[in-house]
Amino acid sequence: MFRKILDNQEIRATLDRYWEATVALDLDKVDEFYQGDVVVEFPQSGERIRGKHNIYELRAHYPAKVTFRILRVRGEGNLWITELVITYDGRPVNVVGVMEFRDGKIAHETHYYADPFDPPEWRSQWVEIIQ
């Protein structure tokens, strides 16, 4: 069986195109980056979505207005991490996305969500605020 092996630069370029399509809300283009049997997991809600058709339909029927801001993408080989902010109807949520590639396409994706909170006053002398 032929396995498509991509180097780090090629996978990073693929991820850049994936996130460009995601930010543009181009579901058809985003769909092209997934393996047919892709699995997407949301550990906080205990959900797993199997297959790119189900992912496409879930996103096509999403009830909130969403925007994406990519903060950082890092990885090596077939494992890549993206830090981003997804805003749902004006409410920002910090997200870490873990993506595993197979044959140059996303085979497994896990999203960890964290709601923002105000920093406690007691530690203000040692920290700076991230904007």
In a domain, 2, yes or no: no
Residue 97's nearest CA partner among 26, 41, 34 is: 41
- The CATH number covering residue 83 comes to 3.10.450.50
Find the helix or strand (DSSP H, E) in which 17 lies.
Answer: helix 8-23
Number of domains in the chain: 1
In a domain, 30, yes or no: yes
In a domain, 127, yes or no: no
* pTM for the model: 0.87
Quick: pLDDT tens for 51-103.
Answer: 999 999 999 999 999 999 999 999 999 999 999 999 999 999 999 999 999 99
Range of the domain at 105: 8-115
In a domain, 1, yes or no: no
Residue 95: strand pairing partners: 84, 113
In a domain, 110, yes or no: yes
